Structure 1
């Protein structure tokens, strides 16, 4: 079976770098047209410039703004046609022990990681259900399923995104729309590197792979940190016809780090 993505139209949030940019590249390689969005223009415009043939359209989008999301989806469908795929990648991480976590940090984390997923998924589902087909994929985190010290806001927001996506999938399954999540573990992105010791990237990576008993964090059984392309491949699979009978599924892509707890 082919992926069935040739000619389909996808919207990807958080596409300016990291996993989001890798998802755009993977979708285009399968023949899809992509509207690549991010809060700032630089990354998505550079990505669009790599193709130059209209396969990637760059747009700025703040996923926390419900009106802006609806307006962009309307613009996309008016200019490019019906939306077939929506991928939620936009995310933020503010690491802190709970006792030191500010209300602003908590609210800002949920605004992007949970409410932003709601805004984009709702806008896509409203249109997809009327046409009887579509796929929505949310990039969450393995932290959504396993407690992590210093990541309470991030983990809780990602857990909310996972359960929201499953509930949406249940509601729209009868109208031909599939909703799934991909939950990465440690991945070589700017977000990951922000947690590492400055100037000690190699040593920090080794510590992630080895794990840390003192902080109750397992290592990575496969012995490597994921590349963004590893996550993108999982997203593309779930968005494609090869996953046509999969919905409400949470696919862990973490090298076994959670021991699938």
Structure 2
């Protein structure tokens, strides 16, 4: 698009999981605004359709599908929708994920399996499906989502943090495999970000959160940042846009952090 320079995504096709809300929704809208045609997947099919409708109403190109990322064949079908509808795949953003709260001694096998399936296997399946299209093209950008939790151990987040650390290593390993083909692979590692993900450990059985407890939690997160801020979904979406664009043509195998300084690492 005029004026975007190396950030222009006109003619590109992006596939985004977790596109019904939060970072995935923001990424879908950001990439579409930069000119990309977007294929949106989420287990919340109606939510993905709402994101699609906003993009289309704004003049963009988008399709949406209900997808359970723990099922490899559904992820492959989502990627196939990109090639069927738009003829190629330039960007794969594996955003879908869930939180998990509980001390190691208390985590059930069912919860362990659930979080591994969504946070790691879903990303792995997305990488596989994207590679099957991108290898013949000889180009592409795969963008995964890890978390600041990989750098800042916190009690009660062991399963979540472990799955996100696995995503980071998957990203770096695949970058080595994919680089000679012309495919870049990176991950973002968001800090505390204001989405419907926030405060899961504060919710009761009906999904309600006490406003006073939430305010206290938000203050705690701000206090952990040198900037005294927490991130918006758009902050993470902008990193995904950077990694999708030619502005990052020399970036692969990296962990990029928009976290307001909540973790500062080499």
Task: Name which of 251, 258, 261 aligns with 2:256.
Answer: 251
Unaligned runs of 5+ in 1: 211-218
Q: Deviations over 1:186-211 (max 9, x none)?
A: 0001111323452223232112222x
The DSSP-based 3-state class of the residue aligned with 1:185 is coil
**Corresponding residue for residue 207 of structure 1:** 220
Q: Distance in 1 between matches of 2:264 and 2:140?
A: 32
Whether 1:119 aligns to 2:125 is yes
Aligned residues: 253
**Corresponding residue for residue 30 of structure 1:** 34
Q: Distance in 2 between matches of 1:187 and 1:54?
A: 26
Task: Name which of 96, 121, 124 aligns with 2:102.
Answer: 96
**Quick one: structure 1 residues 75 and 50, their matched pair in 2 at CA, closer, same or farther if it must change by over 3 Å?**
closer
**Corresponding residue for residue 41 of structure 1:** 45
Contact preservation (8 Å) 2:45, 2:65: yes
Alignment of 1:122-201 (within 5 A): 122-196=128-202, 198-200=210-212, 201=214
The DSSP-based 3-state class of the residue aligned with 1:235 is helix
Larger CA deviation: 37-46 vs 72-81: 72-81
Q: Distance in 2 between matches of 1:48 and 1:58?
A: 6
With the length of structure 1 as denominator, give the TM-score of the two structures: 0.93
Structure 1 residue 146 displacement after superposition:
2.4
Runs of 4+ in 1 over 3 A off after TM superposition: none
Q: Distance in 2 between matches of 1:134 and 1:4?
A: 15
**Corresponding residue for residue 214 of structure 1:** none
With the length of structure 2 as denominator, give the TM-score of the two structures: 0.91
The DSSP-based 3-state class of the residue aligned with 1:195 is helix
Q: Distance in 1 between matches of 2:196 and 2:84?
A: 34
Contact preservation (8 Å) 2:176, 2:253: yes
Q: Deviations over 1:95-146 (max 9, x none)?
A: 0011111111111111011111010111101210111110000011011222
Q: Deviations over 1:152-205 (max 9, x none)?
A: 000000000110011111101011100000000100011113234522232321
**Corresponding residue for residue 206 of structure 2:** none
Unaligned runs of 5+ in 2: 203-208
The DSSP-based 3-state class of the residue aligned with 2:176 is helix
Q: Distance in 1 between matches of 2:119 and 2:134?
A: 22
Larger CA deviation: 160-169 vs 63-72: 63-72
Considering only aligned residues, what root-mean-square deviation do their CA atoms show, in Å? 1.4
Task: Name which of 107, 116, 119 aligns with 2:113.
Answer: 107
Q: Deviations over 1:15-46 (max 9, x none)?
A: 10011100001101111110111002121111
Structure 1 residue 54 displacement after superposition:
5.7
Structure 1 residue 49 displacement after superposition:
1.3
Q: Distance in 2 between matches of 1:68 and 1:31?
A: 26
